[in-house]
Structure 1
Amino acid sequence: MGLGRGSAVVLLISLCFLVLHSQMAHAATYTVGGSGGWTFNTVGWPNGKRFRAGDTLVFKYSSGAHNVVAVNKVGYGSCKTPRGARVYQSGNDQIKLVKGQNYFICNYVGHCESGMKIAINAA
């Protein structure tokens, strides 16, 4: 018994939906720093975790006391904010990871140098 055109289209649409849904289901949400949130000495927080492109990082912190800056490798290593870097200040920032290296720092004076930075490689 063969499928008619209408049945084949419905089957194809159903398969596409299933594939897209399964990819979205794999995205995870992580609170940076765990219950302590985004604070000093979070540099080691990513250790032992597996991140994927599309996962969301939630940075929870006291707005006005800290911030989150998405930086490049040089900014991460030097604890300096490159020109044009995106600065988040809400205290509850949600940032999706891109494939490859993702770097974040707090650019308040002395905070990055005190370990308030993370580097994440997302597969």
Structure 2
Amino acid sequence: MGVPELMFRVSFMAVLIKLASATNYIVGGPSGGWDTNSNLQSWASSQIFSVGDSLVFQYPPNHDVVEVTKADYDSCQPTNPIQSYNDGATTIPLTLPGKRYFICGTIGHCSQGMKVEIDTLASATNSVTPAASPEDSTTSPAESPEVIISSSPSPLFQTHLESPTFSPVIPSTEFPASTSPLAQHSSDFSASSTSKGNLQAYVAVVLSFLIMLMSF
């Protein structure tokens, strides 16, 4: 079922319900009427009028019904009527929200209390909100593009958070045998000691030989 059809059905049903519940109000009733003996303002304030309801004025020939402005209502002035009726059984539909003012045009009757102010409320039809259709909850891909969030970050924005691993470099105190200064010095010292020992032995032999010659 499409949305327009659903809205039409809901509105149509609301109108039917309103028509079924529309009320015809007998002005001044049930214990009074459109006359100078009824407290018409008290009666009107005890009612709730809505758009779609109707006012029913029932009166004898010595009365009539005159709809007037607020100013003429306050001053009981029937000479500039909006509408006037004198059929004895007048039904006036309330088609719009707002206030309307009615008086009796017979001289002196309005000042004796034969006047009524009707405050019509908005119809319940105007406040009906159609129920959401299941089709309304389905969003078209063209109306609402689907947003896809990738679980892997983009290479352009990828940040390497891994900390680089550094291997500590500990200076070695050892030197290769061929390049170590200590080893080289030891070798030189050994060679020097050997040469010195040979020289001392040679000198000793020579001295011994000279001593032997001098002893002869």
TM range (shorter): 0.7 to 0.9
Separation in 1, partners of 2:47, 2:6: 37
The answer to which structure has the higher strand fraction is: 1
Report sequence identity in percent: 37
Structure 1, unpaired ranges of 5+: none
1:96 paired to 2:93:
yes
Q: TM-score, normalised by structure 2?
A: 0.49
The answer to which structure has the higher helix fraction is: 2
Match of 1:109 in 2: 107
With over 3 angstroms needed to count, the CA separation of the structure-2 counterparts of 1:56 and 1:88, relative to structure 1, is: same
Whether the aligned pair in 1 keeps the contact of 2:68 and 2:80 (CA below 8 Å) is no
Match of 1:28 in 2: 23
Separation in 2, partners of 1:27, 1:53: 8
1:44 paired to 2:39:
no
Q: TM-score, normalised by structure 1?
A: 0.81
1:18 paired to 2:16:
no
> Could you say which structure has the greater relative contact order, defined with CA pairs below 8 angstroms and 6 or more residues apart?
1
Q: How many residues align?
A: 117
32-41 vs 52-61, greater mean Cα deviation: 32-41
Query: What value does the CA root-mean-square deviation take over the aligned residues?
Result: 2.2
Q: Deviations over 1:30-75 (max 9, x none)?
A: 0001143200142322122111122100000002x00001111011
Q: Which residue of 72, 76, 79 maps to 2:76?
A: 79
Match of 1:120 in 2: 118
Separation in 2, partners of 1:102, 1:49: 14
